[in-house]
Structure formats: C-alpha cells, structure tokens
A and B are shown apart, each in its own frame.
Chain A
Amino acid sequence: MYEKKELNKIRDKRVDWEENCYSNMAKEYPERKIKFENLSATKIKNVYTPEDIAHLDYIKDMGFPGGYPFLRGVYSTMYRGRLWTMRQFAGFGSAEETNQRYKYLLEHGETGLSVAFDYPTLYGYDTDHPLARGEFGKCGVAISSLQDMEILFSEIPIDKVTTSMTINGPAAIVWGFYIANAENRGIGKNTIGGTIQNDILKEYIAQKSFIFPPEPSMRLIVDTFEYGFKQVPRWNTISISGYHIREAGSTAVQELAFTLGDGLEYVKSAMERGLLIDEFAPRLSFFFNAHSDFFEEIAKYRAARRIWAKELKKLGAKKDRSLIMRFHTQTAGCSLTAQQPEINIVRVTMQALAAVLGGTQSLHTNSMDEALALPSEKAARIALRTQQIIAEESGVTDTIDPLGGSYYIEWLTDKIEEETYKYFEKVERFGGVISAIEKGFFQREIAESAYKYQKEIDEKERTIVGVNQYKMDEELSVPILEMDEKGEHRQINRLKKLRKDRNQSKFDRNLKRLKKAAEGVENLMPYILDCVHSYATLGETCDVLREVFGEYKEPAIY
C-alpha cells in the first residue's frame, strides 16, 4: 500500500527509534513483562507501522463494506442503516416461565429472541425420561412437544420477531415444533424468520450434546438445508459455531480454524447431495465468542469474513449472498468470575464492544451473575442496556469498520488468517473433519489450550481481576434466580395428558412412516413435521431415529 521509497524511509526511522528511543527508555523503565503475547500465544510487537501492512493491496485484500472479500463488513451500510439484533439467550424452567421472560425482554427493547433449552431437550429426551432426573429447566426451558412450543411463544408476534434456537442433535424436530406452531397460528412458513444452531460437528468437538453418529447427523442437517431454502426461505438452517469451542478452552485461532473447517465440511456435504451452492449457502450463518483480548477478537471476526468469502468462491459460489459470513456473537461465559460478580459488567462491555467493532449481525451480552446461576431479571436487563449504550451513546456505530487500516489490526487479521490455514492443513492430514473428530484431534488441542490457560492463571502469569489479583472477602451480593418448584410436576402431567388425548392411530401411522423414511434416503423433514403435527413428543420422535441411526458415544480423553 506504500511506495518503496516511502517504506524505506519509515524503516530507517523505526530502526533509529528502536535503538535510540525505545531501548534507552526501556533500560531506565524496563518492560512490565518478559513476553507480550495474546491469548493465542502470538507475539505482539511494541509498535506497528506501515511496514507491517505493506504487502496488502487495498482493493484486493480489504475492499469496501458489502463487497468482496467482505473484510470490512457484510453489508454496505452496516450499522449506519440498521443496528445489530440485540438477542439475549434465555430460557429456564417451564414454557410458561420462559414466555414471561421473553415478554419482559421484548418490552425492554430486545429486538430478537433466543431460546436456551434444558439438557433433556438438548439430548432429545422428554421431561419424564429417567435420564432427565434433576435437570428439568435447569440450563434452559424444557420443550417436549408442539404443545410446549405453543405455550413458549404464546402472545409473541412470531411473524415479526425472529427467533434463534440453540438446538443441535434434535434440531430438525424442534424446528418442526416452531414451524408447526406458526402454521397452526395461520402464519405462513415462508414468512417466519430465525435460526436453528443445528451444528453437530462442534458438538462432537466441544459442547457434547450429540445424539446420533456423524453420518446420519450430517444427513439430517442437509435435509434441513434443502427443506429450508425451498419452504422456509427466511430461516438460517445452521449457525456454525465457534462459541462452544472457545468456551471449552480453545484459543481464538483454534476457534476460528475449527469453525470454518466445520463450515466447509457442511458445504461439501450439501454439494455431495446435489444441492446448488448458491441456493443453500445464503442461509448459512455463524456464531462466535467474544473473549477478553480486545484486538485479537476484532481481528478474528474480520479474518473470518475474508477467509469464508475466499473459500466459498473457490467452491464455486457466485452470489454475494453466498459469500458473506453473517454471524452472531456472545460474550465469553468462561471469562466471567463468581468473585465480585458486578465487575463482570465491565468485562462484558469490553467484549461486546469488540464484537461490534468486528461487525457482528447480532449480539448476546452475558449477565453478571452467570458464573453463579441463571441470570436474574435485573442482571439480564443490565446486560441488554450495555448493548444499548454501545449502540446509541458511544458513537462507534457512526462509521463502518472504524479500526480498518490500523497497522496493528490489519497485521493481526492477516496473522490470524495465516494461522487458520495452518490448521486447515493439519485437519486435512487427519483425513478431514469427521476423521479428526474420531481421532480426538480437536478435543486434545482444546484440552491442551484450556490447561495452559488455567496454569497461567494459577501461576499469576495472567491476571484475572478478583480471582488471582485484587481479591477481597465479600458477602455474595447478587440475587439468584429462583425457579417455580412446581414446574416439573406440571410439565409431566401435561405430557401424560397429551399422550392420552391425541389421535393415537394418526400418531402411530406417522411414526411408522418416519421410521421407514429414515431407513431410506428421502428428506426427513416432511415426515418429522407430520409426527409433530400429530403431537408426537420430542423423546418419542428421537427414539424412532435412535432405533434406526444408533447413538454416538465419545471416547473419554483428557
């Protein structure tokens, strides 16, 4: 980006500065640390100059917002046109309680919904299954049937507000509940909008809520892609997620590399089925973590967009809509401290700001009390207000990609891209993503990074305010959310009644037809929807598929 002569001048000046200014001062006032490294162990220089970005070609490598390679943003107007969607992940107890929380959040200015399901739901079990013991409503809301979904969205305008659902193993069925509920309310499935996470690869890698083995899981996912672009065109049928990989302990580079690798694996699977890339790729979306290293996170999002655009182009995508990486961000749950929980508000603010400066399409800000329990109403409201302050008071939304062109940010973006490609090669040597999962490659890489991070904290090489520095004795001062004790009982009775009242012969017929279809090669979505409409429960429907597909068991490596 600079003339050779100009660069030489800059280099000479910098060398002079290193030798005569920086070193002299550092003799008198030594550097604070032996090494300056970010969370991915990338060495950080004392200063960045035009030399560090001299190799970049502005038009080719950076371009303009809304244009290839989309480094500066996926839309040409970005936040000057429309702010990101403020989408707070929420769910606990019964459908009734969570419905109240959604109404509360919408009243306070939230612009999209995001459903957290409890563990039994995530694993495709009904609330009355023996393995659901003790888990009802703990990590999210329990949804066992279409009836629960009706209650969850009761009096919520699902034709206007979009909904994201964190569901993976049984995603096709839970999406079926949402579609069926819309249909029953007279809302066309071509008008509803939202996202299902539906990313099974990162479940095997990190979050671990899987049901079926990889092959049938990939089939179900491609089924949703195909059904989606034909029937539910405003729906993002997958949210390819790095969030959980990061929470499990990976570095930023690993998060990005593994997530993009998963994304490309889905694209290849869909193409092998014969789907056209420009038909399904526009409905692929992503989900990243916002951790505490401010600049590294910003660079990560920018690198993500550029790599994705390049790779999709290589795979033959022509439309801009196919090349753009739209993503949701959530601040890092694993960075929150149980100690002095109020200071988490500050952490979340910094992380959210990184996501916004990185050009996110939607954002969840964590509540200060999440290292202790599910968020209380007040904590959830403050988290939402944090986004509103960034959006409407800080001024950072007035220009697009305000850090673009920063010597440091552009250098770091390049560096992250380079490291990501190194991981792509490693995974290739393992024989691709699924083979690398089966050989435990990702799991070991993540466990290694998590252990290193913990050691650095224990040995005070890395400061966590309130945990290993600036500690204090304190009384716990954050009120913890209390749940309705009777919710589980109510839910179990509701299930009993549902099983008794539904049309049994229609139910039997639809489950049989699903089983037969699962044994064949047809798209399963229409069969799943028939089961849903006949009020088959989540557990019953998953059992049919478990019978045909089997279950995945992971090796216990540490």
Chain B
Amino acid sequence: MKRKIRVLIAKPGLDGHDRGAKIVARALRDAGMEVVYTGLHQTAEMIVKTAVQEDVDVIGLSLLSGAHMTLFMDVTRLLKGKDMEDVLVVGGGVIPEEDIPALKKAGIAGVFGPGTRIEDIVEFIRKNVKR
C-alpha cells in the first residue's frame, strides 16, 4: 500500500496570521494526508529540521506579513544545501503577482493567494508530489 502523503505546514517569521495555515492543515488532513503543523514563529532552520525529522514529502509555507521574498527563499536555500530538493514546497499568503516568478525560480513550486479554493491546493499537491 502506498504511504500517505506527509505534509509540514509551517509559519516562518514573526507573522501571527494563522487562519489560512490552520484551514489548509485541516483540509489536507481531511483529504487523507498526514499533516504536521509547526505552530508560529519558526526560523527557516527550525522548519527544515522539522521537515527532516518528520520525513515529509511536502512543505507548505504560509506568510501574510510581506516577508515572503526573504523567508520563503531561506527555506528553499537550506533544502538545496541538504539535498532535499525532492521535497515539494508550496507557499500561500498575501503575495503580489509580480513576486511569483522569482519565488517559482527559487523552488516554490506553487503559490496560492487569497481566494484560492482548498481543493485546488489538494489537487496541486497530489499531482506534483515527487517522493
């Protein structure tokens, strides 16, 4: 039997807006995935460490403070350094359209802004998970 998709939902930085992260965590669990939620105030190092410990296939980053260009990229940079580029990384939050190309280039495979249907996130993960 194929194992369940394992997802880490993480809140990098100081941003306290956790409504979206919690909704996504719960929806992915309801969709049959195994979900670990980091809670608030995580550094990139803490997120990657948890991803290793929990042996996840997917990392979902959520940030509404506007610091995504720095903090999302910190995570993908660390993953590269650990040869963990096969972990699918997606991000969500208040992210201007013009930032998306740079984020994708840095390894954030999917970016989900306000108004996204949860079903679309589930489908994206199922289709793109590499492990």
Contact of B71 among A134, A336, A338, A468 (CB under 8 A): A134
B-chain residues with CB within 8 Å of residue A451 when the two chains form the complex:
22-23, 26-27
- Bound state CA distance, A244 and B71, in angstroms? 24
Check if B32 is an interface residue, CB within 8 A of chain A.
no
**Do A139 and B66 touch across chains, with their CB atoms under 8 A apart?**
yes
**Do A123 and B14 touch across chains, with their CB atoms under 8 A apart?**
yes
Within 8 A of B (CB), among A94-149: 119-120, 122-123, 125, 131-135, 138-139
Contact of A338 among B35, B98, B113 (CB under 8 A): B113
Contact of A208 among B18, B98, B117 (CB under 8 A): B18
A-chain residues with CB within 8 Å of residue B48 when the two chains form the complex:
none
Contact of B114 among A132, A139, A207, A371 (CB under 8 A): A371
Check if B15 is an interface residue, CB within 8 A of chain A.
yes
Write the B114-127 contact mask toward A (1 if CB under 8 angstroms, else 0).
Answer: 11011100000000
- Bound state CA distance, A134 and B71, in angstroms? 7
- Bound state CA distance, A334 and B17, in angstroms? 11
The segment from A358-366, A380-388, A550-558 found at the interface with B is A550-558
- Bound state CA distance, A207 and B18, in angstroms? 8
Within 8 A of A (CB), among B59-93: 65-67, 69-71, 74
Write the B20-62 contact mask toward A (1 if CB under 8 angstroms, else 0).
Answer: 0111011100000001011111010000000000000000000
B72 (CB) vs chain A CBs: closest residue: A134
B118 (CB) vs chain A CBs: closest residue: A458
User: Range of interface residues on chain A?
Assistant: 35 or more
**Do A447 and B66 touch across chains, with their CB atoms under 8 A apart?**
no
Check if B96 is an interface residue, CB within 8 A of chain A.
yes
- Bound state CA distance, A103 and B22, in angstroms? 39
B-chain residues with CB within 8 Å of residue A450 when the two chains form the complex:
19, 22-23
Check if A434 is an interface residue, CB within 8 A of chain B.
no
A483 (CB) vs chain B CBs: closest residue: B66
- Bound state CA distance, A466 and B115, in angstroms? 9
B-chain residues with CB within 8 Å of residue A120 when the two chains form the complex:
14
**Do B94 and A119 touch across chains, with their CB atoms under 8 A apart?**
no
**Do B117 and A458 touch across chains, with their CB atoms under 8 A apart?**
yes
Q: Total A-B pairs in contact (CB under 8 Å)?
A: 108
- Bound state CA distance, A157 and B98, in angstroms? 39
Check if B110 is an interface residue, CB within 8 A of chain A.
no
**Do A373 and B23 touch across chains, with their CB atoms under 8 A apart?**
no
Check if A476 is an interface residue, CB within 8 A of chain B.
yes
A92 (CB) vs chain B CBs: closest residue: B66
**Do A248 and B18 touch across chains, with their CB atoms under 8 A apart?**
yes
Evaluate whether A371 and B26 lie within 8 angstroms (CB atoms) in the complex, with A135-B14, A556-B37, A556-B38 already known: no
Contact of B16 among A138, A209, A454 (CB under 8 A): A209
**Do B19 and A139 touch across chains, with their CB atoms under 8 A apart?**
no
B-chain residues with CB within 8 Å of residue A135 when the two chains form the complex:
13-14, 65, 67
Within 8 A of B (CB), among A512-558: 554-556, 558
**Do B65 and A337 touch across chains, with their CB atoms under 8 A apart?**
no
Write the A324-350 contact mask toward B (1 if CB under 8 angstroms, else 0).
Answer: 000000000010111100000000000
**Do A134 and B67 touch across chains, with their CB atoms under 8 A apart?**
yes
Check if A151 is an interface residue, CB within 8 A of chain B.
no
Check if A226 is an interface residue, CB within 8 A of chain B.
no
A460 (CB) vs chain B CBs: closest residue: B117
A132 (CB) vs chain B CBs: closest residue: B14
Check if A372 is an interface residue, CB within 8 A of chain B.
yes
**Do A454 and B118 touch across chains, with their CB atoms under 8 A apart?**
yes
- Bound state CA distance, A467 and B9, in angstroms? 24
**Do A476 and B65 touch across chains, with their CB atoms under 8 A apart?**
no
**Do B66 and A374 touch across chains, with their CB atoms under 8 A apart?**
yes
B-chain residues with CB within 8 Å of residue A208 when the two chains form the complex:
16-18, 40
Evaluate whether A373 and B13 lie within 8 angstroms (CB atoms) in the complex, with A247-B19, A458-B118 already known: no
**Do B65 and A139 touch across chains, with their CB atoms under 8 A apart?**
yes
Within 8 A of A (CB), among B1-17: 9, 13-17
Min CB distance B106 to A, Å, is 14
A209 (CB) vs chain B CBs: closest residue: B16
Evaluate whether A119 and B37 lie within 8 angstroms (CB atoms) in the complex, with A371-B114, A454-B23, A558-B21 already known: no
Check if A73 is an interface residue, CB within 8 A of chain B.
no
- Bound state CA distance, A294 and B123, in angstroms? 35
A-chain residues with CB within 8 Å of residue B16 when the two chains form the complex:
203, 207-209
**Do B71 and A133 touch across chains, with their CB atoms under 8 A apart?**
yes
**Do A138 and B65 touch across chains, with their CB atoms under 8 A apart?**
yes
**Do B40 and A554 touch across chains, with their CB atoms under 8 A apart?**
yes
Check if A480 is an interface residue, CB within 8 A of chain B.
yes
**Do B115 and A337 touch across chains, with their CB atoms under 8 A apart?**
yes
Min CB distance B100 to A, Å, is 11
Check if A249 is an interface residue, CB within 8 A of chain B.
yes
A372 (CB) vs chain B CBs: closest residue: B96
Evaluate whether A134 and B70 lie within 8 angstroms (CB atoms) in the complex, with A248-B19, A467-B115 already known: yes
A-chain residues with CB within 8 Å of residue B14 when the two chains form the complex:
119-120, 122-123, 125, 131-132, 135, 209
Evaluate whether A338 and B115 lie within 8 angstroms (CB atoms) in the complex, with A135-B14, A207-B16 already known: yes
A-chain residues with CB within 8 Å of residue B118 when the two chains form the complex:
454, 458
- Bound state CA distance, A464 and B39, in angstroms? 29
B43 (CB) vs chain A CBs: closest residue: A131
B-chain residues with CB within 8 Å of residue A454 when the two chains form the complex:
23, 27, 118
A122 (CB) vs chain B CBs: closest residue: B14
Min CB distance A433 to B, Å, is 19
What are 21 residue pairs bridging A and B, where the CB atoms are less than 8 Å apart in the complex? A125-B14, A131-B43, A132-B14, A138-B65, A139-B15, A207-B16, A208-B17, A208-B40, A247-B17, A249-B19, A337-B115, A371-B115, A372-B96, A373-B66, A374-B66, A451-B27, A454-B27, A454-B118, A467-B115, A556-B37, A556-B40
Q: Which 7 pairs from chain A and chain B are nearest by CB?
A: A556-B39, A134-B70, A208-B16, A134-B67, A138-B66, A119-B14, A558-B22
* 19 additional A-B residue pairs with CB within 8 Å, beyond A134-B74, A248-B18: A119-B13, A119-B15, A123-B14, A132-B14, A135-B65, A138-B66, A203-B16, A334-B19, A372-B96, A447-B23, A447-B26, A450-B19, A454-B118, A464-B115, A468-B117, A476-B97, A480-B96, A554-B39, A558-B37
